[in-house]
Structure 1
Amino acid sequence: MWLFTLTLLPILFASSTGKCVPNKADVIIVHCYPKSIVAKIPECPYGWEINQLALGGVCYNGIIESGYYQFTIPDLSPRNKSYCGTQSDFKNPIYHFYNSIVSNDSTLIVKSQPVNYTFTCTYQSNYLVSHAAFDQRVATVHVKNGSSGSFESTLSLNFYFNAKFSTQKEAPFVVETSDIGSDIFAGVEAKGISNRFKVVLNYCWATPSPDYAYHIQWQLISKG
């Protein structure tokens, strides 16, 4: 009898410590940082463990931090990207980001009360892009083609609506606030050139100034 009791006690102890104490406090703390969002809820909400809660219902990336379950959204790109189900919309000049922390564990036989902590962060757009435009001046290139003579070719920088590069945007391409975070499709077109020549871009960079030698440069193509 004593052997049975001594064997049973460790099993009961392990079972009691493996399950967290249910917390019925409906509280969520949200920190809206410039480049990230951090959401915290009390540990063990209604009996749910950290590995049973998902950000956006898809990402089990929560950590335990000082009595809270903490979930972080490190990417606030407003267009074409969605980190762990993060949604966004833009109503000039305001950005809204939405997500939720939900219970999501289909393996449980006896489930705790479902939880769904929805949160929103709102940002004022501080980008001054109302007068921003790309410099699309045309360059004329003189080519000396040996015995075949010389010719002129014009090179122009064009912007397109999508990755098919089939429809051009009107020049000059002016950046709108809603364009922040979206992809820009650009191409260099050569006119007055025979099919024996190809346009190859070895280097391409962007500057915040019409001066191509401006000290601030963002490399787009390097040693292409």
Structure 2
Amino acid sequence: ILKLCTFVFIYVQTINIIRGYCDNCYLFYFTDNSDITVVCGTNRMDLQILLCPMYFYGYNESMVALNGQFGKPECRGTADWTVNPPVMKFHQSQLSLFNYRNSSQQITEEIGSGLFSDFSSVQSVNISGVVNTQDPNAGTITYRQEMKYLFSCRYPLQYLVNNTEMSVLAIKDNNGSFISTLSMVLFEDYTYTTRLFIPPSGLMLKTRVFVEVRATNLTERFNVLLDRCYTTTSPYPGNSTSFNLFVGCNLDLQTIMGVNGEQQLARFSFETFRFVEHRNRTVSTFYLHCTTRLCESSFCRSLRQV
């Protein structure tokens, strides 16, 4: 009994001396699923792990890394002792997790729902990994219990790129998880070099507009595929008159498809028109929307019909 009391006294004092912030660490002696918090952001994943359980098991922040990449400084976390309880923070971009953090990526398919209820197959990507510990003194045996914190984030790969008013067309708006990597730009020439300028009086009828939807800061594993692009008389697609520029391989007679599903950009062009319901208006204002997939190159090929 005397030895047990001495052991407890020394153990608690050791933790207190380390930082002075773990007075309540005994509350976190046993590891639990709640020890890790994961935020699946549009550009990165943010992980927070309680530090006190690590110290109780004989580890510190220098002995923890993402996916076992202990030799890479960018895979190390940062201890935050300003909060109670103290935590270990990891900030990892989606691109880095895809390319060189040894994370696992799994593509799944399911029947579309909501805005994509008309689609028989919608893909998602699940990015998963582990934050684990390393005992630098371990040889044949170790007296430290290995600690692993598993995490994962699921991102849909299909989005509706909405655009707000631009006299006849639009500017970009965001909607979705990976949407921050997608942008829509309008050009006035077939080389896609000069951006389209729309005067207050609007564009002339049958002016050809060149549209580019591009993915940036995204792993090369995915290409951009436009499933459907259409215009509406209101910014809200579900509550207004609409006109399809194309759906799959069914194109309006004035729509010309360029690159689609082959690169990290997709291009097409169409001629401006007026909605009949705007007959009494000087300018016919409408809005452009594109249902956009981010798909693996092989899957994109299977979706493209010749």
TM range, smaller chain: 0.3 to 0.5
Higher relative contact order (CA 8 A, sep 6+): 2
Q: Which has the larger radius of gyration?
A: 1
